[in-house]
Amino acid sequence: MSEFKLPEAFADLTDAAAHWAKPTEYQRSTLRWNASKEDFAVLYNTIMPRLDAILSYMESLPVKPVQEEDRNLYWLACAFAEASPHHELYEGSAQVPHSFVAERFVAAHGDVS
């Protein structure tokens, strides 16, 4: 296991979080653009069975202060939400079918967490 921190109840997701839980949309997008069909399947099959527990846990947290391990879990949930369509709908493709090349999209807020 890596040094990446998650709440103890989600320690089994640490390796997935260390790879996917990035603080900015751009960083998570860059991972998606370079992910393989297998990468999407592993993320999906790791997080989907725990998704209800993750969302219930997140819902129970106070807005502030945000603990590092809770913030990391949030970023993992964001990564899952952004990547799961690639597994569910796009047959594991890193590109969205019938769309422009995703790398052309530049978020107006830049690389801000």
Global pTM value: 0.84
Cα–Cα dist 56/90, whole Å: 28
For the chain, residues with pLDDT lower than 50 are 1-2
Give the pLDDT score at 98.
Answer: 59
pLDDT of residue 76: 98
**Termini Cα distance of the chain:** 25
Domain that holds residue 89: 8-104
Residue 51 lies in a domain: yes
1-to-12, 93, 102, 112 alpha-carbon distances in Å: 9, 28, 32, 28
Residue 3 lies in a domain: no
Alpha carbon 5 to its chain centroid, in Å, reads 15
Tell me, yes or no, whether 110 lies in a domain: no
Residue 2 within a domain: no
Least Cα distance to 61 among 46, 72, 50 occurs for: 72
How many domains, in total, are found in the chain?
Answer: 1
